[in-house]
A and B are shown apart, each in its own frame.
Chain A
Amino acid sequence: MPEFLPEDSVGIVTPQCFHFDEPLILRSGKVIKSYDLMVETYGELNADKSNAILICPALSGDHHAAGYHSMTDKKPGWWDVCIGPGKPIDTNHFFVVSLNNLGGCAGSTGPGSINPDTGTWYGPDFPVVTVRDWVNSQARLADRLGVYQWAAVIGGSLGGMQVMRWSISYPERVRHAIMLAVAPKLSAQNIAFNEVARQSITGDPDFHAGRYLDYGTIPKKGLMLARMVGHITYLSDSAMREKFGKATQEIKEASLNLGRDLRAGKLSFGFDVDFQVESYLHYQGERFSETFDANSYLLMTKALDYFDPSVDYDGDLSKAFAKSDCRFLLVSYSTDWRFPPERTQEIVTALLKAGKQVSYLDIEADEGHDAFLLPVPRYMQAMTTYLNRVKQEVAC
């Protein structure tokens, strides 16, 4: 709970719900007749509407990117380190828009919403949505807000994929595309991890083929396992060693511990939790399973698996960018093994081949994939510097 609001916080924020009646035709061919999007905005839109920045959420990110909902909140929004007055995405100058995507579980239409055709909740019948569908729905949100061109569209991981799609589908509506910890498409290894996560959920006896709410239950164990697997891929080996490796009486130097801190100070010689890392993963999984919807999680992982903008261009990503008219900033993080720097560089190479204006930074960071969410000083500095230029360009 914040006892007082930090000066560089956007403060207490209230989400808004936007309703859309125009049917959205999905990539799969299915149609969502009408839908809601939950949105938060920070800062003020200027008179010529040139200072708007869209934040595209990652897998578990929702509309609550910055600030607090109330003084009793334990934590601020998921990207509070980056968004606020005087922060890299400076709300003194920019009008920042953040949303919960379709298929999510934080208020936008998703598997937990009522299907108007059946009068009951969608559950497993909610159509598979893709990054392209999300970006189309975000474009309608932009129309509603009166924003024709975003000063910047910014996102990390799955959010970065939405940024990429924006630059391809709506070239005239993006000035700057900023992609963090991103890959042009998932590798077999990435998809494999997602499939383990999905199998954990669907294999939970409480899943009931996705209709668990009818049974008054949720597949808690499955969701927890899914998150545990995911979480391992978000952290780096070095981050885990650091987090769970203290010097002890027996092990004089923390660097020799390799992150093997014991939970109870000694081995149990049983099959219960022995190490801190196990207990941490249990905690993360449990917390996630209490707040996230299992059907939504399945949808999000599918959106990741399906993402491949090169698919319409003979597998040549550079051709996908042919019409893109924005400037690009890409950032990778040295210990990210989910989307390692080489994967981000594939996008940079495609952009260079397409003759686009691109900057690329490879940030030394121990935190793995999660680094894009954390206040790594050099990364924060680069974001500040880059967005300062954007600020000057749009004169806000």
Chain B
Amino acid sequence: MRADLEIIQKWIKPGSRVLDLGCGDGSLLAFLRDNKGTIGLGLEIDNNKIDACLNKGIDVIQQDMNKGLGNFETHSFDTVLLTQTLQAMHYPDLLVEEMLRIGKNCIVTFPNFGNWKSRAHIAFKGRMPVSDFMPYQWYDTPNIHFCTVRDFDDFCLAKNIDVITRTVVDNKHRDSAIIRAFPNLLSEIAIYHFARGQQGGQ
């Protein structure tokens, strides 16, 4: 099982309705369907990934999230997922608001730019970080809105978002006591489960 799925699936209620924004090849939704009996729907723009979803029997809508999610009803899904995509959005704040409107609870994962490697890259090389994990140059990267764990905590506080669980892991989605002790410095991927008010139902 993919390590991130292992973490995320604990937060998904059996038989619930799940919307996966930027669902890729649909493997997360297929996993949740097969193991949790969820009814899933993916949003994706890439043709080949859409074909991979159809091949798995995963429903997928070809739609650009940057143009809004107005076609989805309020609270029409139990959980709305956004994995490793937040940093590529034009308006991450508006998207999170839309996720909170559409879903009763939300899960977001993003690369933590506060990780010591990123800091060291800038501090010692004086250049934007390029790694195997994020192999883009500054001018061609789809990742236009990087943030750190601390930034996202501040964001949730400012936007009155209730963080149900925050999990911080390395780039292989491994958890450790040392990462938990220094999340903003050591984690490479942050995974947030959040809701607003009583909607989380947790």
B42: nearest residue on chain A (CB-CB)?
A359
Which residues of chain B (14-60) have a CB below 8 Å from chain A? 17, 39, 41, 47, 50-51, 53-55, 57, 59-60
Interface string of A309-332 (1 = CB under 8 A from B): 000000000000000000100000
Most buried by B among A357, A358, A360, A381: A360
List the A side residues contacting B76 at CB < 8 Å: 352-353, 355
In the complex, which of the residues A327, A349, A378 contacts B71, with contact meaning CB atoms closer than 8 Å?
A349
Does the CB pair A382–B54 fall under 8 Å?
yes
Q: If the complex has contacts A327-B59, A352-B72, are A361 and B39 also in contact, measured as CB distance less than 8 A?
A: no
A interface residues, Cβ below 8 angstroms from B: 327, 345, 348-349, 352-353, 355, 357-362, 378, 381-382, 385-386, 388-389
* Cβ-defined contact, B73 with A353, below 8 A: yes
Contacts of A349 in B (CB 8 A): 71
Those 10 A-B pairs whose CB atoms lie nearest each other, nearest first: A349-B71, A385-B54, A360-B61, A359-B59, A389-B57, A362-B62, A386-B54, A361-B62, A385-B55, A357-B59
Given the complex of chains A and B, what is the CA–CA distance between A353 and B54 in angstroms? 21
Bound together, the chains give a CA A378 to CA B50 distance in angstroms of 11
Known contacts A358-B59, A385-B54, A389-B54: does B71 contact A345 (CB below 8 Å)? yes
Known: A382-B51, A389-B54. A360 touches B62 (CB 8 A): yes
Additional A-B contacts beyond A352-B71, A362-B62, A385-B54 (6; CB < 8 A): A327-B59, A358-B59, A359-B54, A359-B60, A361-B62, A382-B51
Question: What are 6 A-B residue pairs whose CB atoms fall within 8 Å in the complex?
Answer: A327-B59, A352-B72, A353-B73, A359-B54, A378-B47, A385-B54
- Which residues on the A side are within 8 Å of B63 (C-beta)? 360
A179 to B50, CA, bound (A): 17
Q: How many residue-residue contacts, CB under 8 A, span A and B?
A: 46
CB within 8 Å of A: which of B47-94? 47, 50-51, 53-55, 57, 59-63, 71-73, 76
Q: What chain B residues lie within 8 Å of A352 (beta carbons)? A: 41, 61, 71-73, 76
A381 engages B51 (CB within 8 Å) = yes
Task: Report Cα–Cα, A210/B63, bound state, in Å.
Answer: 47
Bound-state CA distance A181–B76 (Å) is 27
Query: How far, in angstroms, from A378 to B59 measured CA to CA in the complex?
Result: 17
- The reply to whether A357 and B54 form a contact with Cβ atoms under 8 Å apart is no
C-alpha gap A349/B61 in the complex (Å): 10
Contact A357 B50 (CB under 8 A): no
Task: List the A side residues contacting B50 at CB < 8 Å.
Answer: 361, 382
Do residues A359 and B73 form an inter-chain contact, with CB atoms below 8 A? Answer: no
Which residues of B have CB within 8 Å of A357? 39, 41, 59
Q: Are B61 and A348 in contact (CB under 8 A)?
A: yes
Contacting residues, chain B, for A359 (C-beta < 8 A): 53-54, 59-61
* Identity of the chain A residue whose Cβ is nearest the Cβ of B52 in the assembled complex: A385
| Residues of A contacting B54 in the complex (Cβ-Cβ under 8 angstroms) | 359, 382, 385-386, 389
Shortest Cβ gap from A340 to chain B (Å): 15
The answer to whether B71 touches A385 (Cβ under 8 A) is: no
Task: Give CA–CA (A327, B72) in the complex, Å.
Answer: 18
For residue A393, give the distance in angstroms from its CB to the closest CB of chain B: 8
Contacts of B57 in A (CB 8 A): 389
Residues of B within 8 A of A381 (CB): 51
Hey, which chain A residues are within 8 Å of B55, CB to CB? 385, 388-389
Closest to A362 in B: B62
Chain A neighbourhood of B47, CB < 8 A: 378
State how many angstroms separate the Cβ of B196 from the closest Cβ of chain A.
Answer: 22
Give CA–CA (A190, B41) in the complex, Å.
32
Q: CB-nearest residue of chain B relative to A350?
A: B71
Q: How far in angstroms is the closest Cβ of chain A from B30?
A: 12
B185 to chain A, nearest CB (A): 42
Most A C-beta atoms less than 10 A away, residue of B50, B54, B63, B72: B54
- Which of chain B's residues have a CB closer than 8 A to the CB of A327? 59
